[in-house]
Amino acid sequence: MTVDSPSGPSGPVRVVLADDESLLRAGLRTVLEARGTVAVVGEAADGDGLIAAVDEHRPDVVLADVQMPGRSGLDALRVLCARPDAVPAAVLTTFDLDEYVTEALRIGVQGFLLKDAEPEALIRAVLDLAAGGAVLDPRITARLLPRLVPEPAPRPPRPADLTLRETQVLRLLADGESNATIGCRLGLAEATVKKYVSALLVKLGAENRVQAALLAQSWGA
């Protein structure tokens, strides 16, 4: 995967990173800052520290582990995602923490990253989050979907039940594209794309764009 997303007119994407393992934070900082498109402006080792770092540095993106001593990263993300001016956030996780990832998506986190992801994938994910996209690691998508659409709840309509334009937007959303990128691809204003995404969430019964993307992927949209 190549890293071709722009860092924006204001310079590198500013990130606050939270994990209780200092060596892992150091490694992630090195990886993320390698290309100059991302700058780690704050770090935290627990949930309280994460909230404080976000308040102090006003980052563009938050990356946080869900399990940390004291106040958990999940609890801190619940507070941060509930804010009107919530910063795009993704959880850092491993395969044995699916239940935490599921809850993180429910409270409004835009995606998740596996801690063993390739360096370029991590950088691209941060850039996509900053641009309003969703971050979905394909290795864990299939494991999350049954938890996000529990049975026997009625399944939302498949893409075939949507309009052609809604289906086009959904396909790009499933690829993790931002509203701006979707607009460029389809020749639509970004504000129009936002309206389509909002309508899709209602029609699909999804709580956020990540759940909509997961559903679309399950249908092969």
Walk me through the domains of the chain, giving residue ranges and CATH numbers.
13-141 (3.40.50.2300), 148-219 (1.10.10.10)
Q: What distance in Å separates the CA atoms of residue 37 and residue 126, rounded to the nearest whole number?
A: 9
Give the Cα separation of 205 and 200 in Å (integer): 8
What is the share, in percent, of the chain residues with pLDDT greater than 70?
A: 81
Q: Across 54-58, 70-74, 115-119, which has the greatest mean pLDDT?
A: 54-58
Mean pLDDT, the chain, whole residue set? 81
Whether the per-residue pLDDT at 112 is higher than 60: the answer is yes
Residue 116: is its pLDDT beyond 70?
Answer: yes
Query: For 138-182, what is each residue's pLDDT tens digit?
Result: 666 656 655 555 444 445 556 567 888 888 888 888 887 878 888
Q: What's residue 177's pLDDT?
A: 81
The per-residue pLDDT for 40 is: 96
Q: Is 69 exposed, middle or buried (0-12, 13-18, 19+ CB in 10 A)?
A: exposed
| Residue-level length of the chain | 221
Say what the pLDDT of residue 143 is. Answer: 62
